[in-house]
Structure 1
Amino acid sequence: MKNILITGAGTGLGESLAVQYSAEGNHVYLVGRRLETLEQVEKHIKDAGEKATSIVCDITDHREVQSTIQSLLKSTTIDILINNAGTGCFGPLNSYSNEEIDQVLATNVKGTINLTRSVMPRFIEQGEGQIMNIISTAGLRGKKNESVYVSSKFAVRGFTESLIKELEGTNIKATAVYMGGMDTPFWDETDHITDRSRLKSPDEVAKLIIEQNTGQAEIFIDR
C-alpha cells in the first residue's frame, strides 16, 4: 500500500486518479479548496471499502501548504505526490484580466512548486518517493488563445525537467505527464472547447497514467 497525495482531487482527472489508485489498495489524500467536493470523492472511495482522507488547502499559499503538509506528516508518510490541480484562461492575450493571469500562474506554477518543496524533505529523509506533475500537451507546444495557460505549463515542464536532473542518482523520481484536453469541469466556464465529445474521459486518462507509471521521467498519453 502506498500513501498518495493528489491535488485538485475533487473533480476531473484528480478524482479519477484518486478512485483508481484507491481501488488498488492505496490510501489517497485528497487535496483541494472545496471540502464539499473532496468529501464526495472520499465517500465514494470509502463506500467501495477503500481508504481516503480529505484535506482542504490553498496550494497557492506557501505557508498554508507547509503547515498542512507538516501536520499530515506527523501521523503518516507520503510515497507519491501528484501535482494535478490546475486552472486556465483562454482567449486572445489582451482579453485576460490581471486577476486571471495571477490565478493561472499561482495555481499551476506556484502550487506545484509549493507542494513539491513541502514534501521533498520527507522524500529525502525516506530515501525515495515520486513527484508526478500533470502538465498536458500545453507544455509541449504553443496553442492559439492559450498563451498564459501554455506559459504556465511550459514553466511546470521546465521545473520537472530540472528536478529530474537534480534528483539523478537518488531513488526520488520526478515524472512529467503529457495528455490532451479531457471532458471535465475544467471547460465549464469557457467556450474555448466547443465539442467536448471528442475529448478523452478523465477515467480513461487516469487508467493510462497508472498503467504506464513506473517512475520514468515522462508519460505521454497524447503528444
Structure 2
Amino acid sequence: MNIAGKVVVVTGASSGIGAQTARALAQRGAVPVLMARSRDKLERLAAEIGGCGVYRLDVQDTAEVNRVFAEVFAEYGRIDVLVNNAGFGVFERFLDAPLEQFEEMMDVNYMGIVRCTKAVLPAMVKSGSGHIVNIASMAGKIGSAKSSGYSATKHAVLGLTNSLRQELAGTGVRLSAVNPGPIDTPFFERADPTGNYVKNISWFMLKPERVAEAIIRAVEKEKAEIDLPFIAGIGTKLYSLFPRLLDKTAQRMLNKK
C-alpha cells in the first residue's frame, strides 16, 4: 500500500509513538486522524503538522468508540488504516498490584483494540481493502518480573492479531503486529515513576521515530509482524524454542525493574 492519500486513524496519538507516527504519516502525504483522551494535546499536535482530524476518544467507552468512528466515516468516507496504539503499563509485583490495575490495563490495552477494530472492520471487509496495525510489545512474547499484568495484555493483543489475520485471509484486509522493546516516551512516567527501570535500560531504549517508521513500513510492505530491535526479535525466537533452557539468562537480562 502506498500510504500517500490514505486516511489513517491513530489511537493514543497525543504523545509518544502515536504522535510521532502522526508526524511521519503527514510527511508521507497521508491524512492522519488523531484520537486520544486529551483533546488539547491532539489540537497542539494537529496545529504542528497540519491536515489532521482530531477526535477525543476513550477506548474504554464502547458507545463513544462507536460514535467517534461513525463520525470519522461520515467526515472522510472511509478509513484505510487503523493503528491501534492506545495503551499503558504499570510495573509492579503481582502480589502488590491491586486487581483494578489488571482490569484497567486489560480494558485499555486489549479491549480497546477489540472495540476500535470492530468499529472499522465491517467497512473494510465490505470494501475489500484496509490495514489494521496493532501495537503489541516484546513483553507479549517474553514476560519479566513486575510486568505480569502488562505482559498479559500484550500476549492477548498478539493472540487476537494472529487469529484475526487467519479469519480475514482472502478479504483484502491486512493485519500487522508491531512489537517494540522499551521506547523513550512518556509511557514510563506511569509505568516506572521511580525512574529506576529507565536508568537501567537507557542504553537499550528505542527512539519513537524508529518505531513510527516500523509502523508505516508494516503497512507499506504488508508485514505481518515486526520486532524491534532486531536482536530482541532473535531472542524471542530462541526463547520460544528453548524456554526452560534460557529462563535463567532471560531473568538476568530482563529483570531490571
TM-score, with length taken from structure 1 = 0.94
Code of the aligned partner of 2:123: R
1:57 paired to 2:54? no
Q: Which moved more, 1:99-108 or 1:208-217?
A: 208-217
> Structure 1 CA distance, aligned partners of 2:131 and 2:101?
30
Distance 1:186 1:180 in 2: 12
Partner residue in 1 for 2:202: 197
Tell me which amino acid in the other structure corresponds to 1:206. A
Q: Determine the C-alpha separation between the residues in 1 that align with 2:122 and 2:213.
A: 29
Please state whether the residue corresponding to 1:95 is helix, strand or coil.
Answer: coil
Pairwise mapping of residues 55-94 of structure 1 onto structure 2 (< 5 A)?
55-76=55-76, 77-94=78-95
Q: Which moved more, 1:201-210 or 1:148-157?
A: 201-210
Q: Report the AA paired with residue 180 of structure 1.
A: G
CA contact (8 A) 1:11 1:185 kept: yes
Equivalent residue runs for 1:42-53 within 5 Å? 42-46=46-50, 51-53=51-53
Q: Name the counterpart of 1:160.
A: 161
**Structure 1 residue 11: deviation in Å?**
0.3
| 2:176/2:218 contact within 8 Å kept | no
User: CA shift at 1:99, angstroms?
Assistant: 2.5
The whole-number CA distance in structure 2 between the counterparts of 1:129 and 1:211 is: 15
Cα distance, 1:212 vs structure 2: 4.8
Alignment equivalent of 2:23, drawn from 19, 25, 32: 19
2:222 to 212, 215, 219: 215
CA distance in 1, matches of 2:147, 2:202: 20
Find the aligned partners of 1:27 and 1:217 in 2 and give their Cα distance: 23
Q: Which residue of structure 2 lines up, in the alignment, with residue 41 of structure 1?
A: 45
Output the aligned Cα RMSD: 1.3
- Deviation for aligned residue 1:117: 0.3
Number of aligned residues? 219
Separation (CA, whole Å) in 2 of partners of 1:72 and 1:143: 39
The 8 Å contact of residues 209 and 221 in structure 1, kept in 2 or not, is answered as no
Which range is displaced more, 205-214 or 118-127? 205-214
- Aligned-residue offset at 1:119: 0.3
Once the two structures are TM-superposed, the CA of residue 221 in structure 1 deviates from its matched residue by 2.1
Q: TM-score, normalised by structure 2?
A: 0.82
What percentage of residue pairs aligned between the two structures are identical?
Answer: 32
Please, which runs of 5 or more residues in structure 2 have no aligned partner? 234-257
Please tell me whether the aligned partners of residues 188 and 198 of structure 2 are also in contact (alpha carbons under 8 angstroms): no
Larger radius of gyration: 2
Give the drift of 1:170. Answer: 1.9
Query: 1:101-180 to 2 correspondence within 5 Å?
Result: 101-180=102-181
**Counterpart residue identity of residue 209, structure 2:** D
Name the aligned partner's letter for residue 219 of structure 1: I
Instruction: Return the structure number with greater helix share.
Output: 2
CA distance in 2, matches of 1:26, 1:193: 36
- Give the unaligned 5+ runs of structure 1: none
* The 10-residue stretch of structure 1 (94-103 or 181-190) with the greater mean CA deviation from structure 2: 94-103
